[in-house]
Structure 1
Amino acid sequence: MVGRFDERFLEEIKSRLRPSDVIGRTVKLRKQGREYVGLSPFNKEKTPSFYVNDEKGQFFDFSSGKTGDLITFLQETERLSFAEAVERLAAEAGVPLPAVDPRGAEQEKKRQGLADWLELAAQWFEAELRRPPGREARAYLERRGLPEGEWGRFRLGFSPSGRTALKDYLVTKGARPAELVEAGLLIAPEDGGAPYDRFRDRIIFPILDARGRVVSFGGRAMDPQARAKYLNGPETPVFHKGHQLYGLSEARKILAAAKADEDPPLVVVEGYMDVIACHRAGVAAVAAMGTALGEDQMEVLWRHHPEPTLCFDGDRAGRQAASRAIDRALPLLKAGRSFRFAIVEGGKDPDDVLREQGAAALKAQLSKTTPFAEALFVRERDEAEPLDTPERKTALKVRLRKLAASIPDADLAGAYKEDLLARYEALWPTREPVYTVGAAAREMSRAGWDKRRRAAPSGAIAETKQATERLRAAPRALSAALAIAAVKDPAVLDDSIELVGSRGFGDEKLDRLAHELVRLRYETDHLEMEALQRRLLASGFTPEDLARVEREAARAGVAAPFLKESGERARELWRQAFDLLMQLESLERAVESAARDLSRDQDASTLISLKAERDHLRRLINSDWAHGGEDARPVLPH
């Protein structure tokens, strides 16, 4: 299905379907003026706040903040992928699916072939678990409290210790070793020797995609001396670690089976056995596979739940994992999508709790959650230096303002700023000062402060507004350079695609181009520059538009070294520049916010610190780091 759905095809589907008819099959709607209104399908409510507008082809849910078209509605309510939702609506509208281009068809055929071998391997692993070589693996699973009756549900298996046991079996079924290497089942030695089995003497956990198809495997070593306790399959044409979540297909079943008046959680845990423990307790759970939770995985989670719960271990590694998740999620937060945090008590993990205390205890512990804003504040308060001097207190305040400003949604950023600063002020409750001077001196002191307070904010606000206006009037050359690099090599977007989708390239004049590039990148993993440019032109861009952006990019000079490099080096430099620009954008907003609040705070130190950091970052963007030298790369503030 990759790359098949252009804008014209999608519009044809939408033109044949009335949103109120499609949505009305799952949401009871009544006519109200030009719109239809009903109870939210996303939240429990008594007063209707869900609206459908046929003229605009959109739904609006004010209780959750969600909005979109029919495709979005099916993705949100039935947890379908984009392609699945389009195919469902195309069938209903009677619009034939577009033909796949020859190259795309060949790639799809190749992926399907690999998927077939992966499925056959999963069946073989399952059978091996029940054969004599799997005796110790069976005993291990029983010791872990996982009875034989549950193995089939999670498709658990075993890989014997033989070097080519799986390879020999699949070759007899017609597989070529090169195919099995590409599927991640075999390892090809660098010296050119014969490929051999990747998984040996391990309990096997099949990794399924959202629709329950095998895409890879994870294996736990039976030998306690094994170099790697857990081993995951490599990146392949059908498996991308940063996109997949272990246990998602089973979690979808649990969520779908929940009653209408229930609000079941979706929990992210750390290990395969933890996921299985949660599922056995009736809790929908998933896990990232040996990597930190990434932006694409967060988007998948939000597609299935507006506020997933992140459950990490209480040790140092768990706290670091939670901190990384906070930093990655913060720029992606929107109204109606966030995270909560839970820590299982007593240094245990979910699998321990289920085995020792039962399902009820596990559910109770996972229900004790901390909101995202509170987790963010506690991290900043506790993991920095002691707050025992005015300078350190101010540094905390500056960090909180910066973090709030990194949220692209202005309303949500404002709400976070108020929440975080209120928590900050609560650390030191205000006390009335005790004066030992006379009344006249007190009045003179207050009058002097009032005079300074009236003068300082207005100047600061004026300076900030002028800077903001200049920023918006003149497109950033670096922003244009980032955009042109993405047109020439769409793969630069991959590690930052969600941020580009929500924040563009740091310049509102390039937002439409950013959104189109992200859409095209989502549709296909392989799109040559010429083909991409043709798609852009077909989407309404003109050659003059792209030429204008390229001219502006040329002004970036040393700030855009990625334009002179190629391959992975260019992509790394692009990511560095994009991260710097996003940090500068957040600081610009934080400075503007601090200037507005100066009269309330009666403290210019926060504004001064933020402006100093902003100006430093402005200089960095055009400094020697951009020449690409490793030694010149800046160490950025948290």
Structure 2
Amino acid sequence: MSLSPQFLDEVRARTSLSTVIGRSVKLQKAGREYKACCPFHQEKTPSFTINDEKGFYHCFGCGAHGDAIRFLTDARGLPFMEAVKELADAAGLEVPAPDPRAQQKAERAAGLYDVVEAAQRWFVEQLGSIEGANARAYLQKRGIRDWTITNFGFGFAPDSRSRLREALKRFGSDALVETGLLIAPDDDREPYDRFRGRLMIPIRDQRGRVIAFGGRIVGDGEPKYLNSPETPLFDKGRTLYNLDKAAPASRNARRVIVVEGYMDVIALDQAGIGEAVAPLGTALTEGQLERLWKLSPAPILCFDGDSAGQKASVRAALRALPHAGPGRSLGFVTLPAGQDPDDLVRAKGRDALEDLLAAPEPLVDRLWRHEVNAEPLTTPEERAGLKQRLFDHFGAIADPNVREQYRAEFLRRFDELTRPQRPRQQRDYGREQYQGGGRRFQNGRQQSGRFQSNRFGFVRPVSDQAKLVATGGLDPRWLRAVLAGLVRHPQVIAAHSEAVAALPFIEAPAIRLRDSLLSAALFHGELDQERLNTILVDEGAAPLAEALRQERGLAFSFTRRDADPERAQRDLVLVIDTLAAQPGLEAALAAATERLKESGDEAAFQEQQRLRIARDEAEKQLASLVEGDVG
């Protein structure tokens, strides 16, 4: 069923976002907006802002952002249509009638939920019966505690072809077949029970409703695990086991862990790690990845340490790669050979697993390691094959920025791996000397003597201002100048919010004022002085802003009272962009310097020179704006 954009806009327009969020989150008034501690991550100082006028919420801590529909789907786990229906009912709107065939399907599915819920209750009863003794003994042997058995709804299917069919005959055989509980033979024989002699594990949807089952054989027999077939309720490729419990747990843990099977999930939950899910006997699908990315920007795959588990992790990496982007990646944990998470927790306790989870391998590293180890690299043809596989990988990425980053990273690693090793002479790290073959350099310049650096590496000492920026802070005068410029010229904030957010402020008052300015621009768009003043008064940030406006010691082109507004705004944007880019430029220059140390070749020298010139030009641009000295 699809809904028109006009209807969805009407639902949003009639919905008070603060009322919806306020049902589960304690709000405090902040001018025309509301603030709260974010419901999507743990924090003590409120950074979650709700604006009824715009109909959006935004968290400056974790980046959560959306409208009322998004809040119900993310915070409460409702499917999109359920969220729309709840909001529409509260607003007095009637959801448009669906296509008749879709309506019939929905009504049929609603009845099937009753069938599988009844089956679940029956399986639980059988586990407690005399026939369930062996299944209970198996759970005890696996160390599964009573509260875990209850929490996950373990049950038992007796070894019979008709016991379940007889117990649920009130629903009729057709419904039992449609839910996958019975198997209907191709001939005219009666349907018979699918699950026989198995420990039963219910599979629930994100709302906690039973939709299918997994059965583990008790004793000998094949297959070891048997899942329900796909049904109107159960889409295997879009379902993750334990998602209903893991979703809220992941918000507190700020991670989600993907393991291979039911028992791994259950063992981790019993060990106090409740944010684990598992695919259902198949490789991770795109639909499952989408659900995982709603919970975490980099879900951690913790597959078994055997060959099959590692192959599964590579398949997941390749499936995720085309969709990689900001906030969409994967992390990987490699378990000791032959062990699954349950084995590791049993043998060494939760801390052993937590140590691995604390440092997951990034997606780019997992792919690189796989390809480098895939084949020998002793011949030019084999090395060319590696390069082609790397090109295929980054070429599959849809996001152009991420694709370029992977391209640069893969080619850098390939170059380091395959570059011929040159003999090194007179290398003395105490004096940082190096003489390359052919050309000679000193302090980043070609010389007739040898290449020699000073204690700052192969570049001249940078200015105090550049060092402050590169180490994560701003020169205090630039910090105050930028903030003073923003409160004098708030028109620039909305269009340059990402660069403003990237500035590495380190003092708490400056951070609070910066966040207030960004919040105002996010919810109100382009600002003028009057509106900004009102917002800052409401948020208690007006005194600092006014002090910056009145401060006379900030002699910059964009802080002068008599400055031409257009010119001042242009210069302010230049400073913001330059400072935001400075840490990346310094990091690139440091990396180029390291490459030059290693190789001493012309290409490395040229790259270092280019970056030095860019760094020097940036410093000149900053200096030109001091004391109003603007060209």
Among residues 222, 225, 236, which one is paired with 1:227 in the alignment? 222
Q: Which has the higher contact order (CA 8 A, sep 6+)?
A: 1
Give, in whole Å, the separation in 2 of the partners of 1:37 and 1:130: 50
Among residues 242, 246, 251, which one is paired with 2:246 in the alignment? 251
Q: How does 1:230-309 map to 2 (within 5 A)?
A: 230-255=225-250, 258=252, 263-283=253-273, 284-309=275-300
- Alignment partner, residue 340 of structure 1: 331
Q: Is the 8 A contact 2:303 2:309 kept in 1?
A: yes
Structure 1 runs not aligned, ≥5 long: 440-598, 603-638
Q: How does 1:58-69 map to 2 (within 5 A)?
A: 68-69=66-67
Among residues 173, 178, 181, which one is paired with 1:182 in the alignment? 178
Q: Is the 8 A contact 1:111 1:237 kept in 2?
A: yes
- 1:349 maps onto 2:340 in alignment: yes
Q: Is the 8 A contact 1:145 1:355 kept in 2?
A: no
Give, in whole Å, the separation in 1 of the partners of 2:437 and 2:401: 44
Q: Is the 8 A contact 1:251 1:279 kept in 2?
A: no
1:396 Cα shift?
A: 2.2
1:45 Cα shift?
A: 8.9
- 1:392 maps onto 2:382 in alignment: yes
- Alignment partner, residue 361 of structure 1: 352
Give, in whole Å, the separation in 2 of the partners of 1:411 and 1:66: 22
Q: Secondary structure at the match of 1:337?
A: coil
Q: Is the 8 A contact 1:155 1:206 kept in 2?
A: yes
Give, in whole Å, the separation in 2 of the partners of 1:27 and 1:374: 42
Structure 1 pair 18–436 and aligned structure 2 pair: CA distance change class (3 A) = closer
Q: Is the 8 A contact 1:274 1:350 kept in 2?
A: yes
1:404 Cα shift?
A: 1.9
Structure 1 pair 116–292 and aligned structure 2 pair: CA distance change class (3 A) = same
- 1:371 maps onto 2:362 in alignment: yes
Q: How does 1:460-499 map to 2 (within 5 A)?
A: none
1:346 Cα shift?
A: 4.4
Structure 2 runs not aligned, ≥5 long: 425-434, 440-601, 606-631
Q: Secondary structure at the match of 1:219?
A: strand
User: For each residue in 1:225-248, what CA deviation from the matched residue of structure 2 results, as whole angstroms up to 9, or x when unmatched?
Assistant: x23111111111111111111111
Q: Is the 8 A contact 1:4 1:99 kept in 2?
A: no
Q: Is the 8 A contact 1:254 1:282 kept in 2?
A: no
1:6 Cα shift?
A: 2.9
Structure 1 pair 369–359 and aligned structure 2 pair: CA distance change class (3 A) = same
1:406 Cα shift?
A: 1.7
1:110 Cα shift?
A: 1.2
- Alignment partner, residue 566 of structure 1: none
1:132 Cα shift?
A: 0.7
- Alignment partner, residue 301 of structure 2: 310
Q: How does 1:429-508 map to 2 (within 5 A)?
A: none
Among residues 121, 135, 138, which one is paired with 1:137 in the alignment? 135
Q: Secondary structure at the match of 2:332?
A: strand
Give, in whole Å, the separation in 2 of the partners of 1:46 and 1:414: 38
Q: Secondary structure at the match of 1:345?
A: coil
User: For each residue in 1:281-338, what CA deviation from the matched residue of structure 2 results, as whole angstroms up to 9, or x when unmatched?
Assistant: 2221111111111111111111222221111112221121111111111111221121
- 1:215 maps onto 2:211 in alignment: yes
Larger Rg belongs to:
2
Give, in whole Å, the separation in 1 of the partners of 2:21 and 2:376: 54
Q: How does 1:523-562 map to 2 (within 5 A)?
A: none
Give 2:10's aligned amino acid: E
Structure 1 pair 54–377 and aligned structure 2 pair: CA distance change class (3 A) = farther
Q: What TM-score do the two structures reach when normalised by structure 1?
A: 0.61
1:399 Cα shift?
A: 2.5
Give, in whole Å, the separation in 2 of the partners of 1:264 and 1:436: 49
Q: Secondary structure at the match of 1:203?
A: strand
- Alignment partner, residue 533 of structure 1: none
1:10 Cα shift?
A: 0.6
- Alignment partner, residue 108 of structure 1: 106
User: For each residue in 1:492-543, what CA deviation from the matched residue of structure 2 results, as whole angstroms up to 9, or x when unmatched?
Assistant: xxxxxxxxxxxxxxxxxxxxxxxxxxxxxxxxxxxxxxxxxxxxxxxxxxxx
Q: What TM-score do the two structures reach when normalised by structure 2?
A: 0.61
Give, in whole Å, the separation in 2 of the partners of 1:320 and 1:105: 42
1:253 Cα shift?
A: 4.3
Q: How does 1:64-143 map to 2 (within 5 A)?
A: 68-143=66-141
Give 2:127's aligned amino acid: L
Give, in whole Å, the separation in 2 of the partners of 1:371 and 1:63: 23
Structure 1 pair 356–432 and aligned structure 2 pair: CA distance change class (3 A) = closer
1:73 Cα shift?
A: 4.0
Q: How does 1:30-69 map to 2 (within 5 A)?
A: 68-69=66-67
Q: Is the 8 A contact 2:255 2:295 kept in 1?
A: no
Give, in whole Å, the separation in 1 of the partners of 2:360 and 2:96: 46
Q: Secondary structure at the match of 2:277?
A: strand
Q: Is the 8 A contact 1:79 1:303 kept in 2?
A: no
Q: Secondary structure at the match of 1:97?
A: coil
1:212 Cα shift?
A: 1.1
Structure 1 pair 244–366 and aligned structure 2 pair: CA distance change class (3 A) = same
1:101 Cα shift?
A: 4.9
Structure 1 pair 39–156 and aligned structure 2 pair: CA distance change class (3 A) = closer
- Alignment partner, residue 323 of structure 1: 314
Give, in whole Å, the separation in 2 of the partners of 1:387 and 1:36: 60
User: For each residue in 1:38-75, what CA deviation from the matched residue of structure 2 results, as whole angstroms up to 9, or x when unmatched?
Assistant: 98766789999988787775566787676554423443
Structure 1 pair 43–403 and aligned structure 2 pair: CA distance change class (3 A) = farther
Among residues 147, 150, 162, which one is paired with 2:148 in the alignment? 150
- Alignment partner, residue 586 of structure 1: none
1:279 Cα shift?
A: 1.2
- Alignment partner, residue 414 of structure 2: 424
Structure 1 pair 311–398 and aligned structure 2 pair: CA distance change class (3 A) = same
Quick check: 148-157 or 190-199, which moved more?
148-157
Give, in whole Å, the separation in 1 of the partners of 2:40 and 2:393: 28
Q: Secondary structure at the match of 1:215?
A: strand
Structure 1 pair 357–136 and aligned structure 2 pair: CA distance change class (3 A) = same
Give 2:117's aligned amino acid: E
Give, in whole Å, the separation in 1 of the partners of 2:307 and 2:203: 27
Structure 1 pair 365–8 and aligned structure 2 pair: CA distance change class (3 A) = same
Structure 1 pair 48–201 and aligned structure 2 pair: CA distance change class (3 A) = closer
Q: Secondary structure at the match of 2:236?
A: coil
Give, in whole Å, the separation in 2 of the partners of 1:178 and 1:316: 42
- Alignment partner, residue 464 of structure 2: none
1:179 Cα shift?
A: 1.4
Q: Is the 8 A contact 1:294 1:328 kept in 2?
A: yes
Give 1:268's aligned amino acid: V
Q: Is the 8 A contact 1:281 1:362 kept in 2?
A: no
Q: Is the 8 A contact 1:65 1:336 kept in 2?
A: no
